[in-house]
A and B are shown apart, each in its own frame.
Chain A
């Protein structure tokens, strides 16, 4: 068997997906015109699949901060955080995150993936156990696998199932880490975090939440699902990314455990990679300020996603259980989903096509992510595009 033979099936699938037009996976975006507009396949489209929830990628303050950092500190750090890659700005961002969350420690990572990989694979190990939501992101699965701890899953968003599984484990393991997400990336549904906190309290487990799709969106200060539900201080570890609401790239972990700071010296995903560029850090710091100063962005985003959710429901699409920044329409048949994706694109709307095994429940999804930067007219056009699928 040749080295690449095992990829033959995936190559065939990709060839099938692209045979009738532009690729729905890894779609080339020929030009980006604004947070909500781009050119795909030669045509201007509304971007509704970019996770650019607050629309800050073109925010003047963020762009200005990035340009200034490029001028003052150069294009890259050329080293890891533990070598020469910890600039004053990296430390300043950590202090700002720590202050925003009201927690003692914060660590900034080069990507959100590395934040999950680094923290999870390091803080637990052999003899410990992880119990994680079955629909967790791949970075959580990968971190859990690398940790050496026993890994168990609980049924998606089912705190009673979590409780049952934790009870089975408690006497048999060392430390126990429960992992969930604030908002789930595929269906946009939210974790029942208060009920999960109850399980944590009863079991003495540690609790980690990934707020990748909820930072900037939920909570009175935009800190995510745990803040929204009034239980932020119950979180042992809050992780997230800068690549969605904050419109840049990077990841973070904040914790009120003073011991977190020492973990940086043991995390391979943190130690053996170049640190974030000065421009990335500068744009994140500016975006964090905007996020905190402009709660109206969250309000506007919420109005958009509630409107799109209600509109698609009315069109008889099968959706996730509740409105969220991601509104995903389910299809049983991948071919039908592909056809719908192409119709939507021809109507001038770009969303994500996601097919199994990346989706929960083996469905195919048209995954639409909304932005505060979408105009009301753009939301009208998104809904009109979906109605064409049904016509």
Chain B
């Protein structure tokens, strides 16, 4: 069973990795906007979701993307799927 702390740690890490890879000097938190602040495209968010699926061995439909704006939103939809 996935707990929220592990989920939060993974989502923050993956979002931070993206920022670091793209040379964005941003410290990611739950309130960080994945699209406007981190600069993710909808394709990037789908790939992020697939990484989370593999990390936690869960199935997370991309239909839930519409609900995802911030890091916190992504944590919530991941918890819901788990």
Q: Which residues of A contact B (CB under 8 A)?
A: 129, 134, 145, 150-153, 155, 164-165, 168-169, 172, 357, 362
CB distance from A121 to the nearest CB of B (A): 13
Q: Which B residues are in CB contact (< 8 Å) with A362?
A: 43
Known: A134-B46, A168-B53. A150 touches B41 (CB 8 A): no
CB distance from B61 to the nearest CB of A (A): 4
Q: Which residues of B contact A (CB under 8 A)?
A: 41-43, 46, 50, 53-54, 57-63
Q: Which of B41, B42, B58 contacts A168 (CB 8 A)?
A: B58
Q: Which of A134, A152, A164, A357 contacts B61 (CB 8 A)?
A: A152
Please tell me if the beta carbons of A152 and B62 are within 8 angstroms of each other in the complex. Answer: yes
Considering the complex, give the chain B residue whose CB is closest to the CB of A362: B43
Q: Which B residues are in CB contact (< 8 Å) with A165?
A: 53, 59
CB distance from B34 to the nearest CB of A (A): 16
Considering the complex, give the chain A residue whose CB is closest to the CB of B64: A150
How long is the Cα–Cα vector from A152 to B60 in the complex, in angstroms? 7
Closest 8 CB pairs of A and B: A150-B61, A168-B59, A169-B59, A151-B62, A151-B61, A151-B63, A152-B61, A357-B43
In terms of DSSP, what is the predominant structure of the interface of chain B? helix
CB distance from A332 to the nearest CB of B (A): 14
Considering the complex, give the chain A residue whose CB is closest to the CB of B58: A168
Please tell me if the beta carbons of B63 and A145 are within 8 angstroms of each other in the complex. Answer: yes
Please tell me if the beta carbons of A168 and B46 are within 8 angstroms of each other in the complex. Answer: no
CB distance from B43 to the nearest CB of A (A): 6
Please tell me if the beta carbons of A168 and B57 are within 8 angstroms of each other in the complex. Answer: yes
15 contacts between A and B (CB under 8 A): A129-B61, A134-B46, A145-B63, A152-B59, A152-B62, A153-B50, A153-B62, A155-B50, A165-B53, A165-B59, A168-B58, A169-B59, A357-B41, A357-B42, A357-B43
Please tell me if the beta carbons of B59 and A172 are within 8 angstroms of each other in the complex. Answer: yes
Which of the listed residues B46, B60, B62 has the most CB atoms from chain A within 10 Å of its own CB?
B62
Q: Which B residues are in CB contact (< 8 Å) with A155?
A: 50
CB distance from B16 to the nearest CB of A (A): 20
How long is the Cα–Cα vector from A145 to B66 in the complex, in angstroms? 11
CB distance from B78 to the nearest CB of A (A): 14
Considering the complex, give the chain A residue whose CB is closest to the CB of B43: A357
CB distance from B20 to the nearest CB of A (A): 18
Known: A168-B57, A168-B58, A357-B41. A153 touches B46 (CB 8 A): yes
CB distance from A167 to the nearest CB of B (A): 9
Q: Which B residues are in CB contact (< 8 Å) with A129?
A: 59, 61
Q: Which A residues are in CB contact (< 8 Å) with B42?
A: 357
How long is the Cα–Cα vector from A391 to B41 in the complex, in angstroms? 35
Q: Which B residues are in CB contact (< 8 Å) with A145?
A: 63
Q: Which A residues are in CB contact (< 8 Å) with B50?
A: 153, 155
CB distance from B53 to the nearest CB of A (A): 7
CB distance from A19 to the nearest CB of B (A): 25
Given contacts A150-B63, A151-B62, A168-B57, 18 further A-B contacts (CB under 8 A): A129-B61, A134-B46, A145-B63, A150-B59, A150-B61, A151-B61, A152-B59, A152-B60, A152-B61, A152-B62, A153-B46, A153-B62, A155-B50, A168-B53, A168-B58, A172-B59, A357-B42, A362-B43
